[in-house]
Amino acid sequence: MEQNDYSVKDFKTLKVWQKARELAQDIYLITANFPQFETYAIKSQIIRAVTSIGANIAEGNGQLYKKKQINFYNNALGSASETRHWLVIAADNGYISEEDYAVLEQKTIEIIKMLIGCIRKLQYQTEDEEIA
């Protein structure tokens, strides 16, 4: 009996996913100090946004078609931008220090740049496939 050897793409090996995971953990730790009344407001929103980055990278990586992968990476990009917004709001309200804000902002921007690079690479590969 013939056995097919299909390899499964592992999102956990992607540097961008690893950085998104690290950022999510950082934000989980820092939001533990948010005021109780923010539990279902800013805290909930920033956690949803930051965890969506990694989730969309993972889901995109599991796609068979590059165009679908691009869509999920684009969603991750939007979630990263939303995370930046909530970081600004948290800093404005004094829930995080300026130092913590600067570190988290820089990590988020690094992920955004990596995602843009991934998207551009996939777009280039998609164009090559259409020509061939």
Is residue 4 over pLDDT 80?
no
Higher pLDDT, 56 or 3: 56
- Eight-class DSSP state of 62: T
Segment 77-101 mean pLDDT: 98
Is residue 6 over pLDDT 70?
no
Largest CA distance in the chain: 65
Is residue 63 over pLDDT 90?
yes
Per-residue model confidence (pLDDT) at position 131: 61
Domains in the chain, please, with CATH?
Answer: 13-131 (1.20.1440.60)
Is residue 5 over pLDDT 90?
no
Q: pLDDT digit string (tens) for 96-122? A: 999 999 999 999 999 999 999 999 999
Terminal-residue alpha carbon distance, the chain: 34
Question: pTM of the full predicted structure?
Answer: 0.91
